[in-house]
Structure 1
């Protein structure tokens, strides 16, 4: 630390720096103690003195702190400010950190707005479902809105049966079957056609896989299907497509169950 005989305009006391930067003397003393920002000089009377360079460093520290960095993190990120290039590098880093923070906050804002929409569409306060919706929003699951239509039994089953990866794969397979059904419907293929019957079997196999053979869940899935078709979500494209596919495949399912001797509601 430099020794200065007189305090000139190029130096500030801790109180003066605190006032200029809108902070407290205690904060600056704490940063000094932690080795994050120490005074550049000391007067002959023992007063600790800061420079305008220290002021820029303080601004850098506060910026990093506002982005969630700890003081230990900040110690490792501070660099010297002796050349224009070094100052520019600091500003570039801060700009990058701010951009990352903006992206995070934008994602958080979208999640909050999406959750608000779901909450208003639910009949009762259900924090467990809220938590599920938040988790699925964080996973970027585009089907998060389906959660409000499931009852607690199905949600418990989903939590135990699927993780992010397996759940995503299952939905992709399900959507592929829906696309096949839509193509068959477009071409007016009748329910008894082998292609339609083969598709119905694939759907039924997925139902068995989803329920893990628990037939008591079939009626709940039917209630879920009916719920989304009459809810405010009935206007989105995925639901419209699902409703059309269900109507098209209904007679095909009845024929398939009759031929296979299956009663989907047996044991209910």
Structure 2
């Protein structure tokens, strides 16, 4: 015959708080084997086995609602469920790794720059947060293996580029409103273009690759997700667009349009 335990004894034996046991009872996850007329609860060895199942499934990341459903199923397709849960955990792992990478880079920027404009700070975070969206967009412009190479750079190199990008963006925001053709502004715009090229693979020919890609539509270019992570205000964007136009004209970028 199975031994019975008061709720206090069961709590100590299993290392589960009385409050949690009451909660599991309310959810009908773990009902006491015996409830006396006076309301006293008694648990059995079978309840210990049931509790171990709950604890194991919680460890695997299942919600209490899912666990309740599993425990009441007579035909639980365990393998399908485990494969699904593994996939969910891998997604969470990837998300946590992106968050840690974003925090590391944000800390690095703060240490190197001190107080940073929030819009620039958020640009770095969004670049990591939206990495997959950026990749998908670039794959409409360039071969997939080329895009993977672009993103396959060492962390330290990525941090170095982020530091330089942050400095350039700060200087451009400070220069906003001055004459876009000013040599100092044009030098900053040139740095921005070179930086972007390096972030996207470290090759200046990248721009020519995109321009010469006949599969690119205007819609692809208009839906550039990088614009969502811009640290510039609308007015600063308009000013920067003029400065970039002047830079590209001086650089002879229109030569591609004439071909």
What TM-score range do you get, normalising by the shorter chain?
0.3 to 0.5
Higher Cα radius of gyration: 1
State the TM-score, normalized to the length of structure 1: 0.45
